[in-house]
A and B are shown apart, each in its own frame.
Chain A
Amino acid sequence: MITVTHLTKTYGSVTAVDDVSFTVGPGQVCGFLGPNGAGKSTTMRCLAGLTRPTSGSATVLGTEYSRIPNPARQVGVMLDASAQHPGRTGRETLRLAALVQGLPLDRVDEALELVGLTRAESRARVRNYSLGMRQRLGLAVALLGDPRVLLLDEPANGLDPEGISWMRRLLRDRADRGDAVLLSSHLLHEVEQVADTLVLIGGGRILTAGPVDELLDGERSLEELYLSRTETTARR
């Protein structure tokens, strides 16, 4: 449901993503790992139609994101939880998203309940939100249209342990009903528990990719795998 084919993105002389290819099928949670600056966010921005690839393609549901009519009903996107107007309330942010998607307003309350934001919290301005609350709001925006594909960039950042555990269950449920989830994260332990497949990139290139149980044969932990594979591209 998510297909990245020979994706390359350059900014001037800097190559952020270099010939990256992978797919995420229905019912799969794909852990998208790599050091800071590895090209994870750029790849996700290409998938969400916010940046155009220099070459190659990044498609969702067999088509470019920007060609999907009313895309938020198909693809839930959370790339940056802090990218919300701080002067707007959380509820208003959701309400605007529901309005554009053509959703009834009770979806706003459902989404708030789903991500665990209280009624009082939803009426506060985003300026006053903690990072965890912003993450929850960002997730609520992504989940609002009940999409079948989720693109989540570090959604567990700043969430409390309860929130992390809740999100793990949510992603598992989504995958079990046939959705596809691309999950970028630095919380290796969480990824190890929830992901079906892994894509590990560094310096814009794929270092390793495949099903989790194949990559983690025997006694190796995800952390060991990660550190050994990213050694060559790690930041000095």
Chain B
Amino acid sequence: MTTTTSQASAVTSPASTEIDPAWRAGIPFTRLLRAEQRKMTDTRSGFWLVLVMILGALAAAITVVATWNRMAGGSSPSWTLGSAFIPLAPMTLLPVLAILLITSEWSTRSALSTFALEPRRGRVIAAKAVVTVAATVLIWTLCQGLAALAALLGDVIHTTPPVSWTMHWSAMAGDLAQTVLLVLVAAALGLAIGNAPAAIVLYMILPVLTTTLGLIPGLHTAMGWVSLNGISLLGTGSLDADGWAHAAVSTLIWNRPRRLSAQFSLCAARSSDSGLPGRSARLRRTGPVVVATAVLVASPGHNGSPVNFFCTKDRPHGPSKTTSPWPYDPYRHLCPTPLTDAVG
């Protein structure tokens, strides 16, 4: 049996032992994207998560319309009045969707099929990341649209002062970046831990954990770096520092694991019989990446951080003004602060 794959010997007779030249074309990334996009919603859990997101956003929008008068409080309201309530359900459930898209491959062992179809595992993980970000951006945009619609209806129905339609672009970009980063952190946790309940719980308690540890005097400085504080700051409109952080974080989260995931096949399936990497191996490989990511994410909120080193001059508001005792608040939508450029 020949081992060369030269064009000349690649005959097309059925008995050929070479790869059929007709199928030399690889799998385009767009096909992987479409497959991952289907996987996101074609299971029962995915379907219900998306349905609850939509219903939750709609219910919040209706509430905003109904209580427009009271929310405006007599002053001229911004159209973004509802933009803190409406994304509550979607932004709570999107990280869960992102985690499930990754962990379900391991828990149901469907990764065996997935990686048999596309052995370059980094591409599969990258496709999942891209689909996750795209879904986040789409849902975030829909929520903003719903907020505008609610403002329009609220303005028509109620006799409040006219709505201000000023677009707070930098604050909106900050809010979007914050949302995308939180979902990516969730996805990275899913990839590192490989177990959906553990990843979801860790994602939810991470802010509480870092805050609590930060109360210990000796750990205060360290936790300032580790907590997800920086992501919360993104939503307050301090964007110039965060553009840098965003790029750094995205690179860190998704490029490191991509290279690592390519090595997954190298590591032994010691703890499982599936031919897939064991949980301990995955944790060992991606755990440091998650920690490093959290550090970088935290950095814009910290005085000595690398981000501040790069852009201290024109930051509109220093960390001292925006640092809250609660570094990262996953329930931020419960306490709406209208999107404005002047925070602090």
CB-based contact A70/B110 at 8 Å:
no
Majority secondary structure of chain B interface residues (helix, strand, loop or mixed): loop
Taken residue by residue from 258 to 286, chain B's Cβ proximity to chain A (1 for < 8 Å, 0 otherwise) reads as 00000001101110011110000000000
Answer whether residue B240 sits at the interface, using C-beta atoms and an 8 A cutoff.
no
Stretch in B15-23, B78-86, B327-335 with 4+ CB within 8 Å of A: B15-23
A66 to B1, CA, bound (A): 19
Closest CB pairs A-B (n = 3) = A66-B119, A87-B43, A83-B109
* Nearest CB in chain B: distance from A100 CB, A: 5
Contacting residues, chain B, for A189 (C-beta < 8 A): none
Q: B residues touching A (Cβ–Cβ < 8 Å)?
A: 1-5, 13-20, 23-28, 31-32, 34-35, 38-39, 42-45, 104, 108-113, 115-120, 265-266, 268-270, 273-276
Partner of A12, one of B14, B24, B112, B268: B268
The verdict on A79 contacting B23 (CB below 8 Å), with A11-B268, A85-B43 known, is: no
Contacting residues, chain A, for B20 (C-beta < 8 A): 73-74, 148
CB-based contact A73/B35 at 8 Å:
no
The verdict on A62 contacting B18 (CB below 8 Å), with A48-B116, A72-B117, A83-B109 known, is: yes
A93 to B5, CA, bound (A): 32
CB-based contact B117/A101 at 8 Å:
yes
A219 to B189, CA, bound (A): 61
Q: Who on chain B is nearest to A46 by CB?
A: B275
* Nearest CB in chain A: distance from B302 CB, A: 41
CB-based contact A50/B27 at 8 Å:
no
Contacting residues, chain B, for A65 (C-beta < 8 A): 119
A11 to B23, CA, bound (A): 35
Contacting residues, chain A, for B45 (C-beta < 8 A): 87
Contacting residues, chain B, for A72 (C-beta < 8 A): 116-117
CB-based contact B1/A100 at 8 Å:
no
* Nearest CB in chain A: distance from B168 CB, A: 40
The verdict on A1 contacting B268 (CB below 8 Å), with A83-B110, A99-B38 known, is: no
A231 to B13, CA, bound (A): 43
Taken residue by residue from 98 to 135, chain A's Cβ proximity to chain B (1 for < 8 Å, 0 otherwise) reads as 01111000000000000000000000010000000000
The verdict on A49 contacting B119 (CB below 8 Å), with A74-B19, A84-B108, A97-B113 known, is: yes
Q: Who on chain A is nearest to B104 by CB?
A: A85
Contacting residues, chain B, for A84 (C-beta < 8 A): 108-110, 113
A1 to B1, CA, bound (A): 7
Taken residue by residue from 23 to 36, chain A's Cβ proximity to chain B (1 for < 8 Å, 0 otherwise) reads as 10111000000000
CB-based contact B116/A100 at 8 Å:
no
Contacting residues, chain B, for A41 (C-beta < 8 A): 273, 275
Contacting residues, chain B, for A102 (C-beta < 8 A): 27-28, 31
Contacting residues, chain A, for B17 (C-beta < 8 A): 1, 25-26, 61-62
CB-based contact B27/A80 at 8 Å:
no
A141 to B31, CA, bound (A): 17
CB-based contact A92/B42 at 8 Å:
yes
* Nearest CB in chain B: distance from A70 CB, A: 5
Taking A77-B116, A96-B39 as known contacts, 12 extra A-B pairs with beta carbons closer than 8 A to each other, sorted by chain A number, are A3-B1, A45-B269, A49-B265, A62-B3, A62-B18, A63-B5, A69-B23, A73-B20, A85-B104, A87-B44, A95-B38, A102-B27
* Nearest CB in chain B: distance from A20 CB, A: 16
* Nearest CB in chain B: distance from A25 CB, A: 7
Contacting residues, chain A, for B118 (C-beta < 8 A): 100
* Nearest CB in chain B: distance from A182 CB, A: 14
CB-based contact A74/B108 at 8 Å:
no
CB-based contact B265/A61 at 8 Å:
no
A61 to B108, CA, bound (A): 30
A177 to B13, CA, bound (A): 10
CB-based contact A96/B266 at 8 Å:
no
Partner of B265, one of A50, A89, A97: A50
A185 to B273, CA, bound (A): 18
CB-based contact B265/A83 at 8 Å:
no
Contacting residues, chain A, for B117 (C-beta < 8 A): 71-72, 97, 100-101
CB-based contact A50/B275 at 8 Å:
yes
A92 to B266, CA, bound (A): 30
Contacting residues, chain B, for A59 (C-beta < 8 A): 3
CB-based contact B19/A61 at 8 Å:
yes
* Nearest CB in chain B: distance from A236 CB, A: 21
Taken residue by residue from 147 to 166, chain A's Cβ proximity to chain B (1 for < 8 Å, 0 otherwise) reads as 01000000000000000000
Contacting residues, chain A, for B15 (C-beta < 8 A): 26-27, 178
A73 to B19, CA, bound (A): 10
Answer whether residue A210 sits at the interface, using C-beta atoms and an 8 A cutoff.
no
Answer whether residue A234 sits at the interface, using C-beta atoms and an 8 A cutoff.
no
The verdict on A99 contacting B116 (CB below 8 Å), with A69-B24, A69-B25 known, is: no
CB-based contact B18/A61 at 8 Å:
yes
Partner of A96, one of B18, B38, B108, B115: B38
A23 to B110, CA, bound (A): 29
Contacting residues, chain A, for B115 (C-beta < 8 A): 49-50
Which of A1, A62, A100, A148 has the largest number of chain B CB atoms within 10 A? A100
Answer whether residue A52 sits at the interface, using C-beta atoms and an 8 A cutoff.
yes
